[in-house]
Amino acid sequence: MKTWIPEIRKFSYLNWKQVEALPKDKTLLVLPTAAIEQHGHHLPLATDTLINNLLLGKALAKLSPNASVYALEPVCYGKSNEHLGFPGTLSLSASTFMAVVRDLGASIAAAGFRKLALYNTHGGNSSLVDVLARDLRAEFGLRTFALYGSGGASFEGLNPQERAYGFHAGEVETAFLLNATPELVDSSVYTANYIADVANPKPLLPENAAATFAWLTRDIAKSGVMGDPRPATAENGHRWVDAAATQIAAMLEAMLAFEDPA
């Protein structure tokens, strides 16, 4: 799969003597978690994994050369059962996903490393990543961090409806790939669907509210899209990738410098 991770930041390119020589208490390992799942008619199944690699790679390139931060190979498959029924979606159960990440954490701790960041770019994994971060801390003593999506970047020019409910294959994801892999975007088959209307709020919301309802993609979007990709441009993608990478780099620097509160 295409990668933007700098070679000097790829953990799997080291040999075991080089790993042994790393300062274990001053090194941050980053484990990407993503998905292989439908992204409408216009984006590839690998969208979440490509975006993870793109944003993380650009962020790692912004770090100080002396920062001991390495990217592990990604866990490409995630909990994607919200997209089952769409051909091409490959989903793990929650227990399988958590077991895989837990076992990788065990290996990382056994090698003497003390800091691990779980960097996730698939919404279906988010609640599991939260649980795993705490469990890895409790079971192995790893100082575990959770980092999501664009690192809190604010995307200039994104309208309120898309910002609130552009969950999947919408403007931002499409702009990212128009910038990075335009050959994988088919702009001739864009479709738009929203799971809620920001101008007509309801007591129950799909995400990020005090009370939510569980949803499956097929409930509301026959094309598999939740958002509107039509305004997406490569130019916005370039600006938004850089904004996200800057935020992510700052978070990684903070994790590397983090010390347990007294």
- Residue 90 and residue 77 in contact, taking contact as beta carbons nearer than 8 Å: yes
Q: What is the CATH number of the domain that holds 210?
A: 3.40.50.10310
Q: Would 78 be classed as within a structural domain?
A: yes
Q: Would 132 be classed as within a structural domain?
A: yes
Average pLDDT over residues 239-259: 97
Interval 29-68: pLDDT, tens: 999 999 999 999 999 999 999 999 999 999 999 999 999 9
Residue 12 DSSP symbol = G
Average pLDDT over residues 138-144: 97
pLDDT given at position 126: 97
- Residue 38 and residue 87 in contact, taking contact as beta carbons nearer than 8 Å: yes
- Residue 134 and residue 145 in contact, taking contact as beta carbons nearer than 8 Å: no
Interval 79-96: pLDDT, tens: 999 999 999 999 999 999
Q: Would 190 be classed as within a structural domain?
A: yes
Alpha carbon distance 61, 6 (integer Å): 7
The whole-angstrom distance between residue 83's C-alpha and the CA centroid of its chain comes to: 17
What percent of the chain lies above the pLDDT cut of 90?
95
Q: Would 2 be classed as within a structural domain?
A: no
262 pLDDT band, cuts 50/70/90, is: low
Determine the length of the chain: 262
220 pLDDT band, cuts 50/70/90, is: confident
Interval 109-134: pLDDT, tens: 999 999 999 999 999 999 999 999 99
Interval 198-218: pLDDT, tens: 999 889 988 888 999 999 999
Q: Would 241 be classed as within a structural domain?
A: yes
Alpha carbon distance 121, 36 (integer Å): 11
Task: Give the angle 123-218-50 at the CA atoms, nearest 5°.
Answer: 40
pLDDT given at position 138: 98
Q: Would 85 be classed as within a structural domain?
A: yes
pLDDT given at position 207: 85
pTM strictly above 0.85: yes
Number of independent structural domains in the chain: 1
Q: If residue 237 lies in a helix (H) or strand (E), which one and from where to where?
A: helix 234-257
What percent of the chain lies above the pLDDT cut of 70?
100
The whole-angstrom distance between residue 210's C-alpha and the CA centroid of its chain comes to: 24
219 pLDDT band, cuts 50/70/90, is: confident
- Return mean pLDDT, the chain: 96
Q: In what order do the strands lie in the sheet with 143-148?
A: 69-71, 28-33, 115-120, 143-148
Instruction: Show Cβ contacts of residue 189 under 8 Å, excluding neighbours closer than 6 positions.
Output: 40, 41, 42
For residue 187, the enclosing domain spans: 7-257
Q: Would 147 be classed as within a structural domain?
A: yes
Q: Would 124 be classed as within a structural domain?
A: yes
